Amino acid sequence: MNVLPGFFFYLLSAIILGGAILTITRRNAVHSAIWLIVTLLGVAGIYLNQHAEFLAAVQVLVYIGGIMVLFLFVIMLVNLDEAAKQRQFNHQWTIAVGCALALMAELAYFIVKGRESFRFGDTGTGTLNPDAAVIEFLKSCRDIPGLGPGGFLQPNTELIACALYRDYLLPFEIASVLLLVAIVGAVVMAKKEI
Amino acid sequence: MPLQLPAAFQPYFWPTIFILIIILVFPLVAGYIVLLERKVMADIQVRLGPMRVGPHGLLQPIADAVKLLIKEDIIPANADKWVFWLAPVISVTAAFVSFSVIPFSDKFYITDVNIGLLFITAVSSVGILGIILGGWSSNSHYPLLGALRSAAQLVSYEVALGFALIGGLMVASTLSMQGIVKAQLDAGMWFVFYQPVACFIYVVAALAETNRAPFDMPEAESEIVAGYHTEYSGFRFSLYFLAEYSNIVVVSAIAVTLFFGGWLRPFPNVQALDFLRYTPIIAMIVLAGLSFMGAGRESRPPEKIGMAGLGIVCLMLAGLFAMPAVLTWIQGLFWFSLKVALCIYGFIWVRFTFPRYRYDQLMNIGWHWLIPLAIANVIVTGIVMVLKGS
Q: What is the pLDDT of residues B32-71, one digit of tens each?
A: 888 888 888 888 888 888 877 777 778 888 888 888 888 8
Rounded-to-integer distance, Cα B280 and Cα B267, Å: 16
Inter-chain residue contact A60 with B173, CB threshold 8 Å: no
Q: Is the Cβ of B129 closer than 8 Å to some Cβ of chain A? A: yes
* Closest-CA distance of chain B to residue A53, Å: 7
Contacts of A145 in chain B (CB under 8 A): 179, 182
Inter-chain residue contact B132 with A154, CB threshold 8 Å: no
Inter-chain residue contact B158 with A28, CB threshold 8 Å: no
- Condensed to tens digits (0 to 9), the pLDDT of residues B334-366 reads 888 888 999 999 888 888 888 888 888 888 888
* Closest-CA distance of chain A to residue B113, Å: 7
Contacts of A70 in chain B (CB under 8 A): 151, 155
- pLDDT given for residue A16 in this prediction: 93
CATH architecture under which domain A1-92 falls: Up-down Bundle (1.20)
Q: What is the ipTM of this complex?
A: 0.79
Q: What is the pTM of this model?
A: 0.82
Inter-chain residue contact A65 with B152, CB threshold 8 Å: no
Q: Strand locations in B141-250, DSSP E?
A: none
Confidence of residue A152 (pLDDT cuts 50, 70, 90): very low
Inter-chain residue contact A30 with B133, CB threshold 8 Å: yes
Answer with the residue of higher pLDDT: A110 or A6: A110
Q: Give the burial class of B98: count Cβ atoms within 10 A of its Cβ; 0-12 exposed, 13-18 middle, 19 or more buried.
A: buried
Q: Is the Cβ of A176 closer than 8 Å to some Cβ of chain B? A: no
CB B244 within 8 A of CB B219: no
Give me the residues of B, 139-198, that contact A with CB < 8 A: 144, 147-148, 151-152, 154-155, 158, 173-176, 179, 182
Q: Is the Cβ of A138 closer than 8 Å to some Cβ of chain B? A: no
Contacts of A39 in chain B (CB under 8 A): none
Q: Find which of B82, B98, B114 to mutate to test the A interface (most A CBs within 10 Å of its CB).
A: B114
Residue of B83, B118, B125 with shortest CB distance to A64: B125
- Average per-residue pLDDT in chain B? 83
Rounded-to-integer distance, Cα B161 and Cα B205, Å: 5
- pLDDT given for residue B5 in this prediction: 65
Instruction: Indicate the angle between helix axes B116-137 and B81-98, nearest 10 degrees.
Output: 160
**Mean pLDDT value of segment B300-315:** 82
Residue A149: DSSP 8-state: T
Give me the residues of B, 47-106, that contact A with CB < 8 A: 80, 82-83, 86
Say how far residue B5 (Cα) sits from the centre of its chain. Answer: 34
Q: Is B352 helix (H, G, I), strand (E, B) or coil?
A: coil
Rounded-to-integer distance, Cα A34 and Cα A40, Å: 10
Nearest CA in chain B to A58: B122
Inter-chain residue contact A66 with B151, CB threshold 8 Å: no
- Condensed to tens digits (0 to 9), the pLDDT of residues B126-143 reads 888 888 888 888 877 888
Q: Give the burial class of B350: count Cβ atoms within 10 A of its Cβ; 0-12 exposed, 13-18 middle, 19 or more buried.
A: middle
pLDDT of residue B17 exceeding 60, the answer is yes
Who's near B220: CB < 8 A, 6+ residues apart?
B227, B356
Inter-chain residue contact B119 with A73, CB threshold 8 Å: no
**Lowest mean pLDDT across A59-73, A98-112, A136-150, B18-32:** A136-150
The values of phi and psi at residue B66, to 5°, are -60, -45
The values of phi and psi at residue A91, to 5°, are -95, 10
* Closest-CA distance of chain B to residue A148, Å: 14
- DSSP annotation string for B224-275: HTTGGGTT--HHHHHHHHHHHHHHHHHHHHHHHHHHS-TTPPSSTT-GGGGG
- pLDDT given for residue A123 in this prediction: 54
Nearest CA in chain A to B148: A73
Confidence of residue A150 (pLDDT cuts 50, 70, 90): very low
Q: Is the Cβ of B290 closer than 8 Å to some Cβ of chain A? A: no
- pLDDT given for residue A35 in this prediction: 92
Q: Is the Cβ of A177 closer than 8 Å to some Cβ of chain B? A: no
- Condensed to tens digits (0 to 9), the pLDDT of residues B65-101 reads 888 888 887 777 877 788 888 888 988 999 888 888 8
Residue A27 host element (H or E): none
CB B343 within 8 A of CB B297: no
Inter-chain residue contact B122 with A65, CB threshold 8 Å: yes
Nearest CA in chain B to A59: B122
- Condensed to tens digits (0 to 9), the pLDDT of residues B197-253 reads 888 999 988 888 888 778 777 676 677 777 777 778 778 888 888 888 888 899 999
**Mean pLDDT value of segment B176-186:** 81
Contacts of A144 in chain B (CB under 8 A): 174
Q: Is the Cβ of B114 closer than 8 Å to some Cβ of chain A? A: yes
Inter-chain residue contact A157 with B128, CB threshold 8 Å: no
Contacts of B151 in chain A (CB under 8 A): 69-70, 72-73, 76
Contacts of A155 in chain B (CB under 8 A): 114
- pLDDT given for residue A98 in this prediction: 92
Residue (of A60, A25, A154) closest to B125 by Cα position: A60
* Closest-CA distance of chain A to residue B82, Å: 9
Confidence of residue A119 (pLDDT cuts 50, 70, 90): low
- Condensed to tens digits (0 to 9), the pLDDT of residues A21-40 reads 998 888 778 888 889 999 99
Contacts of A40 in chain B (CB under 8 A): none
Confidence of residue A85 (pLDDT cuts 50, 70, 90): low
Q: Is the Cβ of B115 closer than 8 Å to some Cβ of chain A? A: yes
Inter-chain residue contact B136 with A73, CB threshold 8 Å: no
Inter-chain residue contact A53 with B115, CB threshold 8 Å: yes
Contacts of A50 in chain B (CB under 8 A): none
- pLDDT given for residue A141 in this prediction: 53
- pLDDT given for residue B103 in this prediction: 86
Inter-chain residue contact B151 with A69, CB threshold 8 Å: yes
The residue ranges of every structural domain in chain A are 1-92, 130-194
